[in-house]
Amino acid sequence: HVCHRFLLQSLEDLDHSLRKLNSRLFVIRGQPADALPKLFKEWGTTNLTFEEDPEPFGRVRDKNIMSMCGAMSISVISHVSHTLYELERWVHCSTGDILPR
């Protein structure tokens, strides 16, 4: 399928570019709760950065991954990027129609 091939070629190109910067792109298949602990041990992972998912399923998954990382002494940094603001913070901080700064 053309779209599938385009996606794979794009990921291969990204990995090639990252290798020039002494880094890599790894695409992992499987459930995060199953795949990540094995890879973290194999790679000696000490830090994890990921994009927060605001959807209910993603929030539960992210919370579980953060707990797992805590148990493995892995530092975690997550970033909001699906929306301009962290949704909970916006709801908590906003009054009326004024957006938080």
- pLDDT tens digits for range 41-78: 999 999 999 998 888 899 899 999 999 999 999 999 99
pLDDT, residue 17, reads 98
pLDDT in tens, 9-33: 999 999 999 999 999 999 888 999 9
Tokens at residue 67, please?
């707990």
Per-state percent for the chain, helix, strand, coil, to nearest 5:
55, 10, 35
pLDDT, residue 86, reads 74
pLDDT, residue 95, reads 66
